[in-house]
Amino acid sequence: MTLFGVIGAMEVEIALLLQKMEETAAVKTKQIASLTFYEGEIGKAALVLVKSGIGTVNAALCAQILISEFKVSHLINTGIAGALSKNLGVLDVVLSTDAVYHDFRVTGFGYKPCIIPGMKKSVFTADSKLIEKAKNAYTSAHFVHNLYTGRIATGNLFVDQTSEKARIISDVSDLDGISPIAVEMEGAAIAHVAYVNQIPFLIIRSISDTADESIEKGEYKEEEAAKISSFIVQSILED
């Protein structure tokens, strides 16, 4: 049986999906580790939805609970991100091809930045079937903004400085020559948990900002971006 676990870090990232669940069928709630998990349906798809809170530890905690307690078969992370690629504009959509931690540094022992010592992988690959489903959902919705696939960089840092943005691009690219196109604070942790549990995953992010000083000028589209990402998740589940 297919059961989706859907994680958003903030209320704004899950609100639309929770509303749709409540419109579809009765929603059950369960409290675990001070988190509220919502069990229900969208379309004919069964899912468990949760607001993780911000950051990698919160995201990993939620992902493991979804797998261990609810036995989800797939993980989807929905939300907003900052653009790293110059090609991305605000409200464009990014589907993860893979994800990596940009703030993992054990360089003093000879490891490249972003490498996790002791792990077979430091780059976690998203599920190709989920990517195709998301592409189809995006196309059928006729969004005016652009869709991209690419690497997502994750860390416990809200990136709002050009210098930090450049450092992330450089460090992540140094792994294998592939540059990250978006940055956020949860995706790689969810991908990491999915990898060790052999669960397919996908990160879906809409661009809220350009991860630089423009945020200080109010150029930050949190709510609009969160709705776009949620709508794509909804479309995947309704397909």
Can you tell me whether residue 233 is helix, strand or coil? helix
User: Which among 127, 171, 186, 209 is annotated as catalytic?
Assistant: 209
For residues 5 and 75, what is the distance between their CA atoms, to the nearest angstrom?
5
User: Which among 11, 13, 103, 186 is annotated as catalytic?
Assistant: 13
CA 103 to chain centroid, in Å, comes to: 16
Question: Which distant-in-sequence residues (6+ apart) come within 8 Å of 236 by Cβ?
Answer: 45, 76, 130, 133, 134, 137
Q: Which two tokens stand for residue 131?
A: 């990517």
Q: Which two tokens stand for residue 147?
A: 């869709």
**Going by DSSP bridges, is the β-strand pair 35-42/124-125 parallel, antiparallel, or unpaired?**
unpaired
The angle, 0 to 180 degrees and rounded to 10, between the axes of the packed helices 11-24 and 222-238 is 40
DSSP 103: S
Can you tell me whether residue 79 is helix, strand or coil? strand
In the annotation, is 209 catalytic? yes
Length of the chain in residues, anyone?
239
In the annotation, is 160 catalytic? no
Residues tagged active-site: 13, 209
